[in-house]
Chains A and B, each alone.
Chain A
């Protein structure tokens, strides 16, 4: 069936299309919308936190509600905003960059999204069902194990389900990048964004199972009376800290590495230069990924692991600064000697360099264990990780959206609105978080609902809160930009930026089979090579032929829905055992879907050569 027919369908068919889609480009749209909405929710929570802290002894929100806000702000931003937005970009770009027609596991790709979405919904259900999670996004035991009500149960089940989705997504991209590359696309010719996607997927694969186990232990403690974290039963609260951070530290790199990839591609494109020190950049990326697993205990310097362990983890942590520094300098020298175009995408990339350098340098300061005894769990840490995650990941996501928006939707985001967003968000970001370094050292621990007057903390907090409003303003302008662009902006060509990599060699947005003929890759920046040799597009690696594509399926949606139902069963069987029926129902739905998937052959369909030739004539 051709794409022209699909476009004439009604709204119901449109929804059904997205519910059943296994097309990585549409899954990217789903991730983008869901992640974007959760980002706004998390932002709203952040604003309420900053309003509460605008002056001492404030009572804008109650202490209990504040704890729910801070927990959900962290959890939402990490798991429900940053992760899916990164998956949105990965889905939209990686298959195109390697010259593939789809991902390795289109069905699982869809399943990964729906699991994430239903997990995210469970997490947020707490708001309406008697209280959201309130033990911090790190959910340290035993507080998380004894926290009354069902709040933390929503955290446990929600993250478990969305975590499974993330793991599936990670495996999918690993196999896609390893097995689905176009002819000639060797590892050392992959765009750096694809490289970072590969390393990030590896980190997901090895980091998330530790969280899975941690969540299971917490779930058994809370829902089935186990004693992993119950000291009176011989339990040990430090186990949670280890498991959480064995996952949690790599998670930081899972988030930041794709952002590094985005900046590498953006800086190279808009300075019209090949990425400086490509080999070193690849090496640095893998080294960061590897070291990311060796440093989890630097989150636990105050846990009392002893000076030897603290020193070892301090030095290992400092070591990560070396490959990160290599990256910063290679970016600077990519710009050096180039001819730099500054537009919104590039502004985010250029704003990233100083911001992230501050975040990186405070990271080294935090690595000094004995000094961390002062920083730990204060606003210094809050400042540091916002510099890294906002200044790195969020800036990266904004850059990626401005850069690839035309590829995803065929339209360039409005430049004026883009610049307004950047400048307000950038100024607001530094205003909010720079001062927090000092607040921390001046004696303000993190997760404080209120602070007392007369402790010289008033001005700093006020400044910080004002900054938050600037960031909110910038984010709102971005939303307006998206709406404005989709209504007003003209269609653009397949290659609006004079791009260098394969995704710019096909129309915008790409046809659902991406490449009519699989491209032949002849070096790093394959499109650039062809352009320099005077050709218009990429040389194909095969003659025009039938294209095999996977079939859409509703099963991923139903399978995730089953787990969603079972999740509620698990949570409420504590109050009333008859809720176990919900568990059985939900698990039955999910296992039934798996069985259906296993016994029902899904061989996909073919797009015929004749149709492809027709479409070619239309263009």
Chain B
């Protein structure tokens, strides 16, 4: 008996220790450190239901412990035959009615928050972004703004941004745990959700619907900046000159190579809505390469030379281009200087 309870307790303590060690997860990624409207609402609901459920668990475990301690077969009474109780109506009623009450306590906020998070009444006067999921990258088209970006979604803090989401291939799911719950992207119908960041920051986003080989590498960023900075960013992005001449010679050559190898056929620079591959307008401002790799020149060159090794199953591996490593370096130089705006992920992180 001691062994039984002892082992169980040890397990509990161990589990608790693990929790303390790992904390609540990474800031701006974890749903346990909410920074947005949706994630705070969800955490409230999680806490309500968790509270009720811990209560239920404790009740069960108390009865369980009593039963196991008190009613073990005892030495000298091996032949004892306990009374064959059929049941107890009063008890049955109790453990039917009390759970119903507990569930109502959870159900009411559930319905309220579910409707609140689906509220689309403010969609018309808010910023709308059309989100397209692709294997294995994200595209963002700012509705009515002539702005296209990929992988990095810039939003202003303190207001609802509506996302109208669709996929170009298989199902994906848009999830920025620290800001909001997730929603799936379907090929035939548009799904709408809103996100709202209460604080500036660079938030990690992930694809949460199994979408193939590089499902786990389909990360993106949501960059929440102050409304003023956001306006500045919008203006900068709208004034991008896609054909602007880079300053260094290497980058200029890179630009030429970029065109000669028809990179531009898939990767738009500027507000062209075509998006066979990620839009590279503000590529130089990104903090990650392909969502998960460090944004260094070496990595970019590696990517150009062999995209498959960094993101298995991505479509660039099938693209028809032939560049040498030196040429790839020049292309990288060109891409890295595509920094059309002073508003970058850094401005979200420094302006605390």
Q: Do any beta carbons of A and B sit within 8 angstroms of each other in the complex? A: yes
Query: Interface extent on B, as a size class?
Result: 35 or more
- A431 and B8 CA atoms in complex are apart in Å by 12
Q: Is A325 within 8 A of B95, CB to CB?
A: yes
- A274 and B169 CA atoms in complex are apart in Å by 57
Q: Is B63 within 8 A of A332, CB to CB?
A: yes
Of the candidates B54, B91, B106, B181, the one whose C-beta lies within 8 Å of that of A318 is B106
Cβ of A368: which chain B residues have Cβ within 8 Å of it? 45-46, 49, 106, 109-110
- A69 and B83 CA atoms in complex are apart in Å by 52
Segment at the B interface, from A247-255, A337-345, A558-566: A337-345
Is B244 positioned at the interface, with any CB of A under 8 Å from its CB? no
Cβ of A311: which chain B residues have Cβ within 8 Å of it? 110-111, 114-115
8 pairs, A vs B, C-beta closer than 8 Å: A236-B188, A314-B107, A318-B103, A332-B67, A339-B74, A369-B114, A430-B11, A456-B25
- A276 and B73 CA atoms in complex are apart in Å by 18
With A337-B71, A454-B26 known to touch, is A374 a contact of B177 (CB < 8 Å)?
yes
- A375 and B292 CA atoms in complex are apart in Å by 22
Q: Is B73 within 8 A of A302, CB to CB?
A: no
Q: Is A441 within 8 A of B32, CB to CB?
A: yes
Q: Is B87 within 8 A of A280, CB to CB?
A: yes
- A423 and B82 CA atoms in complex are apart in Å by 29
Cβ of A493: which chain B residues have Cβ within 8 Å of it? none
Q: How far is the CB of A380 from chain B (nearest CB, A)?
A: 9
Is A307 positioned at the interface, with any CB of B under 8 Å from its CB? yes
Q: Is B183 within 8 A of A302, CB to CB?
A: yes
Q: Which 7 A-B pairs rank lowest in CB-CB distance, beginning with the nearest?
A: A373-B181, A442-B25, A231-B187, A304-B191, A361-B53, A448-B216, A277-B87
- A438 and B16 CA atoms in complex are apart in Å by 11
Is A193 positioned at the interface, with any CB of B under 8 Å from its CB? no
Question: Per-residue CB proximity of B80-120 to A under 8 Å, as 1/0?
Answer: 11111111100110011001100100110111011111100
Q: How far is the CB of B193 from chain A (nearest CB, A)?
A: 8
- A579 and B66 CA atoms in complex are apart in Å by 66
With A274-B86, A354-B60 known to touch, is A370 a contact of B110 (CB < 8 Å)?
yes
Is B184 positioned at the interface, with any CB of A under 8 Å from its CB? yes
Q: Is A273 within 8 A of B82, CB to CB?
A: yes
Of the candidates A280, A370, A435, the one whose C-beta lies within 8 Å of that of B42 is A370
With A311-B111, A321-B103 known to touch, is A340 a contact of B68 (CB < 8 Å)?
yes
Q: Is A342 within 8 A of B72, CB to CB?
A: yes
- A183 and B184 CA atoms in complex are apart in Å by 55
Q: Is A274 within 8 A of B99, CB to CB?
A: no
With A374-B177, A447-B215 known to touch, is A318 a contact of B15 (CB < 8 Å)?
no
Q: How far is the CB of B308 from chain A (nearest CB, A)?
A: 10
Q: Is A370 within 8 A of B214, CB to CB?
A: no
Q: How far is the CB of B316 from chain A (nearest CB, A)?
A: 16
B interface residue numbers (CB < 8 A to A): 7-8, 11, 14-15, 18-19, 21-26, 29-32, 38-39, 41-43, 45-46, 49-50, 52-54, 56-57, 60-61, 63-64, 66-68, 71-74, 77, 80-88, 91-92, 95-96, 99-100, 103, 106-107, 109-111, 113-118, 169-171, 173, 175, 177-178, 180-184, 186-189, 191-193, 204, 206-217, 219, 292, 312-313
Cβ of B292: which chain A residues have Cβ within 8 Å of it? 452
Chain A interface main SS type: helix
- A219 and B292 CA atoms in complex are apart in Å by 35
| A236-289 with Cβ < 8 A to chain B | 236-238, 271-274, 276-280
Q: How far is the CB of A568 from chain B (nearest CB, A)?
A: 26
Q: How far is the CB of A576 from chain B (nearest CB, A)?
A: 25
14 more A-B residue pairs beyond the given contacts A371-B113, A373-B42, with a C-beta to C-beta distance below 8 A: A143-B212, A238-B188, A277-B92, A278-B87, A302-B182, A307-B115, A307-B118, A314-B111, A341-B73, A342-B72, A374-B182, A376-B208, A449-B217, A450-B216
With A329-B91, A335-B67 known to touch, is A304 a contact of B186 (CB < 8 Å)?
yes
Cβ of B192: which chain A residues have Cβ within 8 Å of it? 304
Closest partner residue, chain B, to A532 (CB atom): B81
Q: Is A143 within 8 A of B170, CB to CB?
A: yes
A interface residue numbers (CB < 8 A to B): 62-64, 67, 135-136, 138, 140, 142-143, 146-147, 231, 234-238, 271-274, 276-280, 302-304, 306-307, 310-311, 314-315, 318-319, 321-322, 325-326, 328-330, 332-333, 335-342, 350, 353-354, 357-358, 361-362, 364-365, 367-374, 376-378, 423, 427, 430-431, 434-435, 438, 441-443, 445-452, 454-457, 459-460, 463
- A96 and B80 CA atoms in complex are apart in Å by 28
- A235 and B186 CA atoms in complex are apart in Å by 11
Q: Is B38 within 8 A of A146, CB to CB?
A: no
Q: How far is the CB of A597 from chain B (nearest CB, A)?
A: 42
Q: Is A435 within 8 A of B18, CB to CB?
A: yes
Cβ of A138: which chain B residues have Cβ within 8 Å of it? 210
Q: Is B216 within 8 A of A302, CB to CB?
A: no
Interface centre among A64, A303, A454 (most CB of B within 10 A): A303
Cβ of A142: which chain B residues have Cβ within 8 Å of it? 169-171, 187
- A504 and B216 CA atoms in complex are apart in Å by 53
